[in-house]
Structure 1
Amino acid sequence: MKLDTSHMRYLTADDFKVLQAMEIGSRNHELVPIEMIHSIGSLKSPSATNRSLGDLAKLKLVARLRNAKYDGFRITYLGYDYLALKLMLKRDSIYSVGTKIGVGKESDIYVVSDKNGAQKVLKIHRLGRTSFKTVKNNRDYLKNKQTSNWMYLSRLAAEKEFQFMRVLYDLGFNVPIPYDNLRHCVLMELIKGYCMKHMKKYPSYKKLYSDLMNFIVKLANHGLIHCDYNEFNIMIRDEEDAKNHEYGFVVIDFPQCVSIEHTDAKFYFDRDVQGIRDFFAKKFLYEPEHDPTMLDTDGYGEGYKYAYPNFKRDVLRMHQLDAAVSASGYVKKKSREDRDLESAVVNMRALELGSSDDDASEFDSDVDYDDSEDGYDSDEYEEEDLDDDNLAEDEAAENEKIISALSSGSQNLKMDKLGNYIIEE
């Protein structure tokens, strides 16, 4: 989807209150009733709420469900984008949004700038695209259907990726510098280079092959397996930029990482290794074989004893990163958020390389939303269908605290498995 931020400057404080109210209201409602939006948003009058909803609907930041039993709205991904960007602006993390530079099977990538003009990358997670082959049969990726809130799952994926990147960067791994994380967005370093998929030639491709294999082993020795390690998720630095770094590549995309204790750890490890072998065989006709006459085991390929890593032979646990980041498959008891995210990304790991997004237009095609410029109808909704028609005073106070925490970016604000916001004391 296209991220058009041109309208953000014209949104009022009431508009953002309505968006935040809808975000909170969606914890219990797929379609948030208008009266609840007004109550949570604490706008001066119902007419102000209706006016904001009409303006937001025209900009497709919210959408109305046709033929619903009551009058209500849902926040769209674009509206969720606006909420995240608004707070990043407030934090001075970003100042402007540039062009889209990449589209993944579960994310969009944009170039952004901070107030000093430094360019960075903004990755916006969008779980739920129909490029996943099992979406039509398993819409929410959850075996027990614990939640269908894609924005909640996207937020979990972004938080997990930022957590992985921060830990790996601190330990000296070749990953982008992680700057910030908010809702379903991750702000990271802009790598001066290109995706390895577009590589046409490389002066020292045999060394690159060895370094890439060493990365797999080093990551596994720290307790993690990438699970999507291929030419699509490896960036090659420009020749000039590479001179300033030890290695000429950077690895990206970490939400689907698993622990080496995972039941399928060997399968994922071998698949990562095979992905690199297949790429170099196709691109450079480079297919090294094991050479028992060589004694050097510090690398892989020609000139080394082993042509590629082996899980049982080469993986020797040195650190407990999988425990530190609660990676999938680690024996430690996982939180509900970790279980929800694991259910969501399990299908991401199962995808074949190079899956297309041709079916993206089918996403949510079975739900009929009204995004017309007219906004919404004025039909009265049925009061008996509203669970929280009259919020209790204590719940209203809690909502005010949550809105304040959303606006300030408080670290104490968490989500439960249903996407409900809670404030940890």
Structure 2
Amino acid sequence: MRYLTSDDFRVLQAVELGSRNHELVPTQMIHSIGGLKSPTATNRAIGDLAKLKLLARLRNAKYDGFRITYTGYDYLALKSMLNRDTLYSLGTTIGVGKESDIYSVSDGKGQQRVLKIHRLGRTSFKTVKNNRDYLKNKQTSNWMYLSRLAAQKEYEFMRVLYDNGFIIPEPFDNSRHCVLMEWIDGVTMKHLRNHANFKKLYSDLMNFIVKLANHGLIHCDFNEFNIIIRNNEDKKYEYDFVVIDFPQCVSTQHVDAEMYFKRDVDGIRDFFEKKFRYVPEDDDVMLDTEGFGEGYRYAYPDFYRDVKREKDLDVEVQASGYKKDKRKESRDLEAAVRAMRDHEGGEEVEDEQAEEEEEEEEDESEEIEEDYSEDEYSEESEEEPELDLNSESNAEENEKIIQALSSGTQNLKIDKLGNYILE
């Protein structure tokens, strides 16, 4: 990344901007948006970016154009945070989730932080795939668009929750599909072997669910995979857990709010029953209702009994379900995260499994050509890479399509391969 020139990033941003309206951005449009001095400079930058798999082509396209890859999108996000001095270096992968990658990073002062990169559309969970009918053609730019919306929404959730005293990582920055947040020294509750006071932990987690609901929000994926237990040996913190993963939160006004609330509660109950054989029951003798479990009146929270609205954070962050939001972005994001919410039992994805799933996605969509061969853009070649806009067979049709794209005409259609067709 450090060896990319300013021209390279201008071209990369040009393709990103063009992707808002086009699945495949015409080369002439890239040059026009990028504003480089000559087409030759644009062609050379495109060639260098294509070799690094930051840009890609669609095979059998009717005109010559490019799309940005997920790696290229990563580069733009990292570059923007680098320019804002919120991030300085990128470390190793520390986790792979259903819809995200987690990296260890650091800022300019050497302070360790965590970078979450949303990658909606990557996983091959059957239950998720069956619900993903809102993007049947699996266009890469659309997955990036949804990943950006999910990251922005998670950052908004984290910022408002952190400012209201909730036990979550401090959010530092957000760019495109990435969220930069505080590093938590600990392990996920899934890998917790023992705990000195698991009964208090149970009660504290149930109180967190209720407190969140009292502020108008339901987590929707509150389980052992999204709770980190701190290494709190010096007793520095009042609570030894931190909650993560918020893009799928909904309002307590959501039509399915009671169901999501109960599922979060049941997730904690099931974990403590399996891990600690802890199954508390209601005790009418006890009068204390400030907690849940052994020693308290109630064994676990109830949506209608325990939720009493104190604040309207769901309205502040426009959470799903707080009202009928007619914005297109809100509808798109709701369709995407619905599959995440409806997927029960947040399973972890190991690195090897994630790679196999990515290979499956590539096999299913053979029309995508991710990179160029080394022969096409050889370092030893002194000739400028040729972008075949003017082949004898397609020159006239290419020119008409590019003119139509530039003028914004409506007589264009896209076939199943992503090719533009003039009516």
Task: Give the TM-score of the pair, scaled to structure 2.
Answer: 0.86
Match of 2:300 in 1: 308
Compared with structure 1, are the counterparts of its residues 87 and 132 closer, same or farther at alpha carbon in structure 2 (3 Å cutoff)?
A: same
Cα separation, 1, equivalents of 2:339 and 2:134: 7
Match of 2:239 in 1: 247
Higher mean C-alpha deviation, range 123-132 or range 288-297? 123-132
Q: 1:25-104 to 2 correspondence within 5 Å?
A: 25-104=18-97
Q: CA deviation at 1:137?
A: 5.0
Is 2:372 aligned against 1:379?
Answer: no
Q: Deviations over 1:156-198 (max 9, x none)?
A: 1111001001101111000100111111111100001111110
Cα separation, 2, equivalents of 1:136 and 1:35: 36
Compared with structure 1, are the counterparts of its residues 148 and 370 closer, same or farther at alpha carbon in structure 2 (3 Å cutoff)?
A: closer
Match of 1:415 in 2: none
Match of 2:126 in 1: 133
Amino acid at match of 2:269: R
Amino acid at match of 1:361: E
Q: CA deviation at 1:50?
A: 1.1
Match of 1:226 in 2: 219
Compared with structure 1, are the counterparts of its residues 326 and 85 closer, same or farther at alpha carbon in structure 2 (3 Å cutoff)?
A: same
Q: Which residue of the other structure, out of 247, 257, 274, is the alignment partner of 2:249? A: 257
Q: CA deviation at 1:335?
A: 2.7
> Runs of 5+ in structure 1 lacking a partner?
1-7, 393-425
Compared with structure 1, are the counterparts of its residues 161 and 390 closer, same or farther at alpha carbon in structure 2 (3 Å cutoff)?
A: closer
Match of 1:363 in 2: 361
Q: CA deviation at 1:362?
A: 2.4
Contact 1:260 1:329 in 2 (8 A): yes
Compared with structure 1, are the counterparts of its residues 136 and 298 closer, same or farther at alpha carbon in structure 2 (3 Å cutoff)?
A: closer
Contact 2:69 2:140 in 1 (8 A): no
Contact 1:223 1:317 in 2 (8 A): yes
Q: Secondary structure at the match of 1:149?
A: helix
Q: CA deviation at 1:135?
A: 5.8
Amino acid at match of 2:211: K
Q: CA deviation at 1:44?
A: 1.2
Compared with structure 1, are the counterparts of its residues 148 and 25 closer, same or farther at alpha carbon in structure 2 (3 Å cutoff)?
A: closer
Q: Secondary structure at the match of 2:261?
A: helix
Cα separation, 2, equivalents of 1:143 and 1:49: 33
Compared with structure 1, are the counterparts of its residues 147 and 16 closer, same or farther at alpha carbon in structure 2 (3 Å cutoff)?
A: closer
Is 2:339 aligned against 1:350?
Answer: no
Cα separation, 2, equivalents of 1:363 and 1:135: 14
Contact 2:251 2:321 in 1 (8 A): yes
Is 2:273 aligned against 1:276?
Answer: no
Match of 1:288 in 2: 280
Cα separation, 2, equivalents of 1:150 and 1:387: 27
Q: CA deviation at 1:240?
A: 2.7
Cα separation, 1, equivalents of 2:295 and 2:266: 20
Cα separation, 2, equivalents of 1:276 and 1:10: 48
Match of 1:403 in 2: none
Cα separation, 2, equivalents of 1:79 and 1:218: 40
Contact 1:124 1:185 in 2 (8 A): yes
Q: CA deviation at 1:324?
A: 0.6
CA-based RMSD: 2.2
Q: CA deviation at 1:333?
A: 3.5
Match of 2:382 in 1: none
Amino acid at match of 1:79: G
Q: Which residue of the other structure, out of 11, 14, 18, is the alignment partner of 2:4? A: 11
Contact 1:158 1:255 in 2 (8 A): yes
Q: Secondary structure at the match of 2:115?
A: strand
Match of 1:335 in 2: 327
Cα separation, 2, equivalents of 1:144 and 1:262: 29
Q: Deviations over 1:71-96 (max 9, x none)?
A: 11110011001011111111000110
Cα separation, 2, equivalents of 1:9 and 1:146: 29
Match of 2:381 in 1: none
Q: CA deviation at 1:46?
A: 1.1
Cα separation, 2, equivalents of 1:388 and 1:312: 57
Q: Secondary structure at the match of 1:43?
A: coil
Q: Secondary structure at the match of 1:245?
A: coil
Q: CA deviation at 1:232?
A: 0.3
Q: CA deviation at 1:246?
A: 1.6
Compared with structure 1, are the counterparts of its residues 314 and 390 closer, same or farther at alpha carbon in structure 2 (3 Å cutoff)?
A: closer
> Runs of 5+ in structure 2 lacking a partner?
378-384, 409-423
Compared with structure 1, are the counterparts of its residues 172 and 354 closer, same or farther at alpha carbon in structure 2 (3 Å cutoff)?
A: closer
Amino acid at match of 2:388: D
Q: Which residue of the other structure, out of 294, 317, 323, is the alignment partner of 1:325? A: 317
Equivalences, count: 384
Is 2:159 aligned against 1:166?
Answer: yes
Cα separation, 2, equivalents of 1:151 and 1:292: 52
Compared with structure 1, are the counterparts of its residues 170 and 102 closer, same or farther at alpha carbon in structure 2 (3 Å cutoff)?
A: same
Cα separation, 2, equivalents of 1:83 and 1:388: 29
Q: CA deviation at 1:239?
A: 2.4
Cα separation, 1, equivalents of 2:238 and 2:286: 25
Q: CA deviation at 1:371?
A: 1.0
Match of 2:421 in 1: none
Q: In percent, how many aligned pairs have the same letter? A: 69
Q: Secondary structure at the match of 1:9?
A: coil
